[in-house]
Structure 1
Amino acid sequence: LSALICSFLYRYVENLNTTTNPTAAGLSMTLGIVSNIIALIILAKAYARLRKRSKATFLLFASSLVATDLAGHVIPGALVLRLYISGTAGGLCNQSDATCHFLGGSMVFFGLCPLFLGCVMAAERCMGVTRPLLHARMVCTAHTKIVLVMIWLLALSVALLPFFHLGTYIYQFPGTWCFINVLDNTSITDVIFVLLFSGLGLAALAVALACNTISGVTLVIARLRKKKCHRRSAKSHDIEMVAQLVGIMVTSCICWSPLLIFGLMSVIRSYSGSMGDDLETYRTLMVMGVRLATWNQILDPWVYILLRRAVLKKIYRITTGRSDLKGSTFRRWEISSFQNSMKSLVCSCSGLTCTFSFGDSL
């Protein structure tokens, strides 16, 4: 689904885009801002209602990811629109300026942050599913905030490396964005910088893939054991969170892998002097890669918007034409969620009167 969405959106924007027309950039920026604001509102309301520490941690990570994606649309998007409006678009300048340095650093920072956050979220859920006691003892809101600060500082440190003469930011074809120098007159520092950037991004995707695979297999095994031994089923909120993480991972792999891989290929061929007549081809590949990476920040929030029980239940009702979910998978899921979200049960029996108090669930 993510591949189809990315392909459709890319073709649509490609048809609109010219080197002097800011329509595509404005459309992408507006759609990204709206999508992330909607997801942020949903996550903020869920976090305010939630009382489960494990899911509250997940939602705090998710809210931080969406907020980072929102900033990643507003800041670089505004600079790109400024380049269009100022008439810089369409011209390729090898000399970088303050705007180029800031735009290039922003793209590296807002590129690494979502990948790091997706990796940490997958690792946190893997621990929650496979080692719940250890997770309950080690993971708390304070630790989550510390990890978030460390992620942002790590991404910022990488983005600032060119300011210490490790790598350079230059304008990229067609002159509307700035990124690491991977095509023209590359030096060994450019190669090291690209290896660091792409290596960290691909490593984050690989760790997220491994953690999500372990979580998914663990939940499937728990489900099979429940059927075989009549034991309690895996918690529905774990299933929901892992499903959302898989959606994030698939989207990130599809939208970010091309830029990370094309960057590595370009800088290696450029530094070795084997670029030859393929320069225009690699320029086109880099443009395609950065556009797909931009759509990742638009698709991420829709993972949270769509992969929720409330939305899936409505889709199930519409597609099946059933208003009664009794006996269905969604009915069992809802019952399990209701039981697992029980915060307290207080019975004050006076004659035949009892009072029950339950926690909320997303």
Structure 2
Amino acid sequence: MLALSHYNSSASPFLPRLANDSGGTVEVSVAVEGLSQQGNFTFVEPTTSGIIAVVLSMTLGIISNIVALFILVNAYSLQRRRSKATFLLFATSLVITDFIGHAIPGALVLRLYLSGGVSPEDFDSSDGMCQFLGGSMVFFGLCPLFMGCAMAAERCLGVTKPLLHSSLVTKTRTKICLAVIWLLALCVALLPCLQLGSYTYQDPGTWCFINVLSDTEEVDVVFVVLFSGLGLTSLAVALVCNTISGLTLVLARLRRQPGCHHSAKSHDIEMVVQLVGIMVSSCICWSPLLIFGLMSVIHSYTGTIGDNLLNYKTLMVMGVRLAAWNQILDPWVYILLRRTVLRKIYLIAKCQAGLRGTILGRWEPTSFPSSEKNEVNQV
């Protein structure tokens, strides 16, 4: 999907064809000038450097997901604590979903990019590949949001009600939850097959998504409201759950009495920090597309989009660019926000600030069962 970044967001990749159709360059100049007055159109032909940038972006995403997957699988195989194993099972499933969601839609978009895209007059004619690409974007968009929400809810229960968590959350139920998430996202993505919504090519003709800008009907509005509503609700629930988990851990540290050994362990801190990273990445990457989609379909259906059509096309392209980055950023949450990295950050912060007697000083070395325990004592 990152291939979109190499087209101007409001340009058509087929302007050069005007020269052949009109029989001269005067008509081309007039057409380009007229378009420029409406939306500052500038045509940028696909170049070798652009294709290389697209390939590098896809390669970065694939490598990042593979590295994160290796780290999570290795940690899962060594983990004996059930709550941590449950979290790692969720996280591994999320990375696998991100990996597939980055490779398949990205390859299809790259193929469209290399072939020159689809002409604007064919935007409304949705072929099999457009249906598959649009469905993939909806499916692989909802799955990470649902999983992030489920992970946040699971950790919130584990931090606030550990006894209830231990009795309710099992590996079998976690796998069932993952299956339900995938099935729910698949059902939403397949709604256009039941004539409940539609997928169409989007400007500049190199990607497909829900019809939000042209000839929108009631079913299109309902489909977009369902998609965006589910996504935004998942983000909101994750925000609430992560906030509760974080505050609970902080209060547990502040209320800890000397000699008390019931303080939050480092694995709880690690999981909550990673969940916060996932939530922030998802909010930044997916919120624009979810909100822009709602805005576009409402204004298009009510007929109030008017001269703002070009602006909404630009917003949709910007939204899908950001959404594509979520599948690249998510793996780095697990790569960078691991316990070993957090421990190093803690040691550096404690050495620099000299916070032995402050709140950070309440983090006991016993919370970090590792070979660096002696180093923490020396500090």
Output the aligned Cα RMSD. Answer: 2.7
Residue pair 1:313, 1:330 contacting (<8 A) in 2 also: no
CA distance in 2, matches of 1:149, 1:330: 42
The answer to whether residue 255 in structure 2 is matched with residue 225 in structure 1 is: yes
Which of 91, 99, 109 matches 1:70?
99
Structure 1 201/61 Cα, relative in aligned 2: closer, same or farther at 3 Å?
same
1:23-76 superposed Cα distances (whole Å, 9 cap, x missing partner): 443233211111110100000000000000000000000000000000001110
Which of 132, 138, 141 matches 2:162?
132
The answer to whether residue 236 in structure 2 is matched with residue 206 in structure 1 is: yes
SS of the residue corresponding to residue 226 of structure 1 reads coil
Deviation at 1:87, TM superposition (A): 2.4
SS of the residue corresponding to residue 167 of structure 1 reads coil
Residue pair 1:66, 1:301 contacting (<8 A) in 2 also: yes
Deviation at 1:109, TM superposition (A): 0.1
The count of residues paired between Structure 1 and Structure 2 equals 327
Which of 52, 58, 72 matches 2:81?
52
1:95-118 superposed Cα distances (whole Å, 9 cap, x missing partner): 110000000000000000000000
Give ranges in structure 1 of 5+ residues lacking alignment.
1-9, 340-362
Which of 254, 266, 282 matches 1:236?
266
Which of 176, 180, 190 matches 1:146?
176
| Amino acid of the structure 2 residue aligned with 1:336 | S
Structure 2 match to 1:184: 214
Residue pair 1:182, 1:270 contacting (<8 A) in 2 also: yes
Give ranges in structure 2 of 5+ residues lacking alignment.
10-43, 371-379
The answer to whether residue 172 in structure 2 is matched with residue 122 in structure 1 is: no
SS of the residue corresponding to residue 137 of structure 1 reads helix
Deviation at 1:85, TM superposition (A): 2.1
Residue pair 1:16, 1:23 contacting (<8 A) in 2 also: no
Structure 1 319/239 Cα, relative in aligned 2: closer, same or farther at 3 Å?
closer
| Amino acid of the structure 1 residue aligned with 2:83 | S
Residue pair 2:221, 2:297 contacting (<8 A) in 1 also: yes
Deviation at 1:221, TM superposition (A): 1.2
The answer to whether residue 366 in structure 2 is matched with residue 335 in structure 1 is: yes
Structure 2 match to 1:107: 137
CA distance in 2, matches of 1:37, 1:327: 41
| Amino acid of the structure 2 residue aligned with 1:335 | T
Residue pair 2:7, 2:204 contacting (<8 A) in 1 also: no
SS of the residue corresponding to residue 22 of structure 1 reads helix
TM-score by length of 1: 0.84
CA distance in 2, matches of 1:59, 1:310: 16
Deviation at 1:22, TM superposition (A): 3.3
Structure 1 match to 2:342: 312
Structure 1 match to 2:20: none
TM-score by length of 2: 0.80
Residue pair 2:228, 2:291 contacting (<8 A) in 1 also: yes
